[in-house]
Amino acid sequence: MNAVIYARYSCDNQREESIEGQLRECRAFAERNNYTLVETYVDRAMSAKTDNRPEFQKMIKDSAKSLFDVIIVWKLDRFARNRYDSAHYKALLRKNGVKVVSATEVISEGAEGIILESVLEGYAEYYSAELSEKVIRGMTENALKCQYNGGFVPVGYTVDENKHYQIDDLTAPIVREAFMMYVNGRPIKDIVDFFNGHGVLTSQGKPLTKTSVSAILQNRKYIGEYRYRDVVIPNGIPAVISDELFSLAQARLEKNRRAPATMKADIKYILSTKLRCGDCGGMMVGESGRSSTNNKNYHYYKCANAKKRKCSRKAFRKADIEDIVIQHTVKSVMNDKALYNIAGRVCEFQNRENTVIPLLQNELADVEKAIGNFMKAIKMGIITESTMARLSELEAQKSDLKVKVTREEIKSAVLSQDQIMYYLNKLKNSDISNEDNMERIVDTFINSIYVYDDKIVINYNCWEDSATILPSNMGISSDFSVVGEPKHWHPVGCR
């Protein structure tokens, strides 16, 4: 697994660990966990209170290039000190398939802090999904009327003022001829030259290529079929060619189509960075192997140190251990009482998180008190030029403070308890067979997982105690019993 190091040194704290010290510990962490270091990003004399850090921004941009899977930091406050910046950039990195891990902190972050980040990201995702559903509903209504729904207009068609497809008298005959050429054995290259020789362009104004011609030959719109998602309407638009000609073209395409190379599946190891070896403390990393008896691929979690023969921990089957962890989490954590408790803690944490607003509000209260005193003096007839000048200054200061408070409240984007419960209930009722939902559950509720030969120990973000699971047959069956069910909820930093 490829990794990069991000190190930062702030000029406002001279007792802070040096860049060199940070790099040394991060490299040692990478070595212990079998990460391959491919790059190092360093911001010197830069505060994490702002995201305006050149190397940090370069690293975020590079994450989209699929060059690395993990960002290693000395401590998580090297990455960001602003909860909302942290949530934003971690969400962006997650979309790029990159995770942030700490070289020196076993606890990834404070309990409510982790849940808050996940809630902020998850709520935004659900809002986006609901917005998308509304858009889809509107486009489905258009589809039922066989109206144009955006995207490329196929060669041979135009769209009228009522958003209906109409045959283009200039290019439709060329499309018919192209189908005839293909059915009669002409190669696609000749058809590309035929289109370009007639000056035909795509709806984007570009010359046709082999890819675009192949798409034309497979486009069912040319036989009058309108299609949008699940809406399929035969004869919904004017046909350019006959069904028979289209069928002959598909028969030749099928005959010439070569079986695609078998691509390696993109396997997601949802417990990555959370799962650790109970013997040596090293991270359990994803690994796959092919059976010599049935030629099937199998996927495991294996101790990174065991891969280097520095630990004797055996591998555990991916599906089994993920199922054990998810099932226990759903059963023990994702119930109404637990989720309500979490939502309340997150609300409290949000209110504590912003220290600027209380200071501004105290300052505003002092200014309003001073204005009140001046107004009393004026009523008593104590009116001087200096009194009026000072009153004017205080009024301007009051207006400025109100603006600052409003800006901070907008910037903080505090979620209500109802909004947080909405997200948590969505997560509770989600399909846990879906890997994305499984990953969200792990990221939200689980701090770390330690595996032994005879048990699994899960440290949750919201429990004071660890949960110990005793599977009946580790690595094979997901039947398990729980020993020492945690009895106490704990706010922050329980471990």
pLDDT at 12: 46
In the structure, what pLDDT confidence band is assigned to residue 231 with cuts at 50, 70 and 90?
Answer: confident
For residue 412, pLDDT over 70 is answered with no
Mean pLDDT confidence for 392-404: 83
**Burial call 268-286: b when 16+ CB within 10 Å, e when fewer:** ebbbbbbbbbbbbebbbbb
**421-436 per-position pLDDT tens digit:** 888 888 888 888 888 8
For residue 474, pLDDT over 60 is answered with no
Backbone angles phi and psi of 414, in degrees to 5 = -70, 130
Query: Cα 94 to chain center, whole Å?
Result: 4
Residues 6+ apart with CB under 8 A from 127: none
Mean pLDDT confidence for 247-269: 67
Mean pLDDT confidence for 427-447: 85
For residue 222, pLDDT over 50 is answered with yes
Mean pLDDT confidence for 273-296: 80
For residue 74, pLDDT over 60 is answered with yes
Query: What residues form DSSP beta bridges with 449?
Result: 275, 458
The answer to which of 235-239, 292-296, 302-306, 342-346 has the lowest mean pLDDT is 292-296
Residues 6+ apart with CB under 8 A from 480: 324, 327, 328, 456, 469, 470, 471, 472
Range picked from 122-126, 127-131, 245-249, 433-437 for highest mean pLDDT = 245-249
CA distance 306 to 314: 8
| pLDDT, mean over the chain | 78
The length of the chain, given as a count of residues: 495
DSSP H helical ranges for 161-285: 172-183, 188-197, 210-218, 243-256
* Phi-psi label, residue 281: left if phi above 0, alpha if psi -120 to 50, beta otherwise: left
For residue 167, pLDDT over 70 is answered with yes
How would you classify the pairing of strands 275-277 and 446-451? parallel
In the structure, what pLDDT confidence band is assigned to residue 131 with cuts at 50, 70 and 90?
Answer: low
CA distance 338 to 21: 41
Mean pLDDT confidence for 402-418: 68
Residues 6+ apart with CB under 8 A from 2: 35, 36, 37, 38, 67, 68, 69, 70
Q: Any idea what DSSP says for residue 154?
A: P
In the structure, what pLDDT confidence band is assigned to residue 110 with cuts at 50, 70 and 90?
Answer: low
* The two structure tokens encoding residue 425: 């209930």
Mean pLDDT confidence for 275-280: 89
**9-58 per-position pLDDT tens digit:** 765 443 445 788 888 999 999 998 889 998 999 887 544 444 567 888 88
DSSP H helical ranges for 354-460: 356-379, 385-412, 417-428, 435-445
pLDDT at 296: 75
**135-151 per-position pLDDT tens digit:** 778 888 888 888 888 77
Residue whose structure tokens are 């695609």:
260
For residue 174, pLDDT over 60 is answered with yes
